[in-house]
Structure 1
């Protein structure tokens, strides 16, 4: 983003972009799900695999073609609203007779609702679903909002005059589709500017992000070489913007590899020297006035939109706020919330002290979504983490992998200790017993083996950084920087505090690190350098 942009204009862009990505996109997905389930179809993949739908979408991508299956309903369109990347997301071509081109040659991919962006979801809704006239108008208008104010907006800014004219219409069209989103508008409208999240949204919303995906293999090359690959771009301001985006993508979006278990692995982005300063102070949140003298945070998690969720077991609640401590909200919990893990952009999974269960909460609507009874987990101190769309909790010398949608334990992994603290990322699950052992353990899906490292003091909490190395909080108050292979470590002097840390958490999307100091009643948020 250009440094010359007025911060208020940039914040308005951030607010509108947040509405499109955090409210409109989920509403479109929910409306699509409602449509195909009303027709007796169980999932999105089956819906787009049905003959009427694949036939419609085929002709939104291909022109001057007569299908052998249903030629009477073929439509020749001058404009093809379904682009190559969207079509390739949905379907894969199978070998067929020479010169034969028909939707019968295509197989539906394993696509899910979360794979659909606002543009693709709206396209399927408008062409393949049964909508009321008002729904159709709202969806068309919201799609135009994205195109007019965000997709073609290379400045990443919205003026106050534009904002005043569009905001009420934006709210009106969304609430026509889902009146329950009123509180979400208020929450987002009061949100402070978050630079890293704004950059991420800018990349997602600008039309050129498809071009960036096409040249992603060149990200190891120089920016000049990448820009040369973008044909037809003569606008110098656009080229400057692209250079900034590409730099952001290098640091923010590691290529993902998938092992034979289907586990996504992130390739390290940049090397860190062990112990070197890699974060700088962003904000300290003093919660003394909010939570009184009995304050204790047992765990903290950051959502991908930047909100913090803290467990306050003494007060039987989850505390929610922004990274600057603003917009403090809470969810009452019937019990003592002990550990929490973000499952998606709006859902956290929580373990309760003394109860063998997981509870899941929608932090947007302040609702408990699900109670999952788990006799196999530890009753008093069961850690929890989320990895690869699954939940992991600790049992007695066990890790339990849980499908949170069904509540079923789908895998049990024997461990060397009782996992009191957990953290999962990529293909690794880190754990320790929080008692007296100086060993930190991790389980690797790549080789289905457990590994361990002996530290100077018993590990208390740990988190994985963007390059695969670890920060580990120890009971002596030190923070140890552990190499990605788990073989070396050095203390992080810039994070040594008195009193020491009680918890630590890193969010890859936000590139922010958080620490808890209960004695000082401080939650400290750091930006990655």
Structure 2
């Protein structure tokens, strides 16, 4: 009897959380986007950089500040609703010396709408946009319900008494903002309890990011405090990954921690679901024989930008996963492989006369450096590990300092390494057989796993396991590298290359023949 009631209470929490995350959050983002595009602004970053918006948000974070521009409209709020990690997510201090300690020192980061959770998007809507009284009340109500029933609810339960009035108000507010959401609400209200998804949503909805921001102490102290306050959350904490928090301050600390709180995936399980696709038909052309060959590699950077190599067109194609913008960077040679060095720089393997590794600043579209590496294999890939480049040379891997171009380490192999991928303390590589090999720094040894067909590309998942694209199918390789299973997700089984980014928590795959990039979100 009590078990049944407990499960019903948890399901009601799951339903309300699903509405907030699956309906309300995208609804707020869409409303914000419509508002700034109606003013002729093309991106969220441009909107955040406008004088009125920057001024308002600055004073929602800073007290006792007088701005050099528009000083008459400066406000001194008794409470600061924009917390530190949210401000850092939106804005960066400009380099150089400023006479005025005000908003003129800051510039907006290249944030995307999908980076805004319900708290941040509603804060911007309520303070920086002109809303009707009814819209204002609906947005404030939805935000308040999220705080009252979800963000501070450490039990993950909602009683029948609470739910009756809550559901009525919740649906009324949503349908006022967008009447087309009626079917979505009906579908969510009827769904059964999904324990795994509910745990994930609970972690997402709790104000853990605020706790991390307020404490500012070591991760061990944070963990102890969380365990003391959230005694009923042991099951939920198992779902924290390296990038499990929703704010930047939490990510940087959790990324360097051990695997204690990282959920281990079941080998071969559906980890990702297809979110949307990017059609590249207008960008990719056939060769003279009618084959699609003009795309060789893809990667996803920490800010969500995709970088693709188009060798026949001598250019890098750069676009965001939300298709908000597409840029090109034209090169002298033919790019065939790419890897990220930092937030703005990439290393590219390029062919003209000979093979080179070239470093490009894709923000300013300039070449920073060209590195000549004798013996660089024609089809060998490149990757990074511990802020160094890894390249494939005959019978060996070479670790390159990209700043000086010097070889800092040589790792002998028993083959000519082909594709290569660095993760943690391991460098994975493959040859022209069916073997996936890796060198481990921990034991200074090479290890081998034989796959069903030749590996063509690989990427590491949050738990340390891997997706490997093979000639005939894609496989999920265990964290210890000793076993594998065929990937179940249909859209992942047939692709040419793939890449995962832990900060974006997105997986991208490239289907060359269909000229399509698939964007996957973690389930």
Asked if Structure 1 and Structure 2 have the same fold, meaning a TM-score greater than 0.5 normalized by the shorter chain, the answer is: yes
Structure 2 counterpart of 1:488: 483
SS at match of 2:216: helix
The CA deviation at 1:356 is: 2.9
- Select the residue among 452, 455, 461 that pairs with 1:459: 455
CA displacement, residues 479-527 of structure 1 (integer Å, 9 cap, x when unaligned): 01110111111101324678x3111111111111111111111111111
**Residue number among 210, 213, 233 corresponding to 2:216 in the alignment:** 210
Change in Cα spacing, 1:132 to 1:372, as seen in structure 2 (3 Å) is: same
Q: Mapping of 1:417-496 within 5 angstroms?
A: 417-433=415-431, 435=432, 437-476=433-472, 478-495=473-490
| Corresponding residue of 1:131 | 97
CA-CA distance at 1:142 after TM superposition: 7.0
- Pair 1:278–1:381, CA change in 2 (3 A): same
Instruction: Name the structure 2 match of 1:403.
Output: 401
Which residue pairs with 2:346 in the alignment? 348
Superimposed CA distance per residue, residues 147-174 of structure 1 (whole angstroms, 9 cap, x where no aligned partner): xxx9xx9655344574369xxxxxxxxx
1:205 and 1:422, CA in 2 relative to 1: closer, same or farther beyond 3 A?
farther
1:289 aligns with 282
Q: Is 1:225 matched up with 2:231?
A: yes
Which runs of structure 2 are paired with 1:68-107 in the superposition (5 Å)?
Answer: none
Q: Show the counterpart of 1:307.
A: 305
The answer on whether the counterparts of 2:240 and 2:262 sit within 8 Å (CA) in structure 1 is no
Partner SS state of residue 493, structure 1: coil
Deviations 1:352-409 (A, max 9, x none): 146332111122222222211222422x123101122111111111111111112211
1:108 corresponds in structure 2 to: none
Question: Any stretches of 5+ residues in structure 1 without a counterpart?
Answer: 25-116, 144-149, 166-195, 228-242, 259-263
Partner of 1:233: none
Q: What TM-score do you get using the length of structure 1 for normalisation?
A: 0.59
| Cα distance change on mapping 1:471 and 1:118 into 2, 3 Å | closer
Query: 2:165 aligns to what?
Result: none
SS of alignment partner, residue 230 of structure 2? helix
Provide the secondary structure at the position in 2 that maps to 1:208. Answer: helix
8 Å CA contact 2:219, 2:254 repeated in 1: no
Residue ranges of structure 2 left out of the alignment (5+ in a row): 1-16, 34-42, 55-87, 109-114, 131-200, 246-250
Tell me the matched-pair count. Answer: 366
Asked if structure 1 preserves the Cα contact closer than 8 Å seen for 2:474 and 2:492, the reply is: no
Task: Write the mapping of 1:4-83 to structure 2, written as runs, cut at 5 A.
Answer: 7=26, 10=29, 15=44
8 Å CA contact 2:298, 2:497 repeated in 1: yes
Q: Which whole-Å CA distance do the structure 2 matches of 1:164 and 1:376 have between them? A: 59
| Aligned CA distance change for structure 1 residues 8 and 209 (closer, same or farther; 3 Å) | farther
Please tell me whether the aligned partners of residues 257 and 266 of structure 1 are also in contact (alpha carbons under 8 angstroms): no
Q: Are 1:505 and 2:499 counterparts?
A: yes
Question: How far, CA to CA, are the matches of 1:223 and 1:6 in structure 2?
Answer: 27
Separation of aligned partners in 2, 1:361 and 1:512 = 24
Distance 1:286 1:369, change over 3 A: same
2:385 is aligned to: 387
Q: Aligned residue for 1:374?
A: 373
| Contact 1:9–1:158, Cα closer than 8 Å, also in 2 | no
- Structure 1 residues 346 and 257: alpha-carbon distance in aligned structure 2, compared to 1, 3 A threshold: closer
Distance 1:403 1:267 in 2: 32
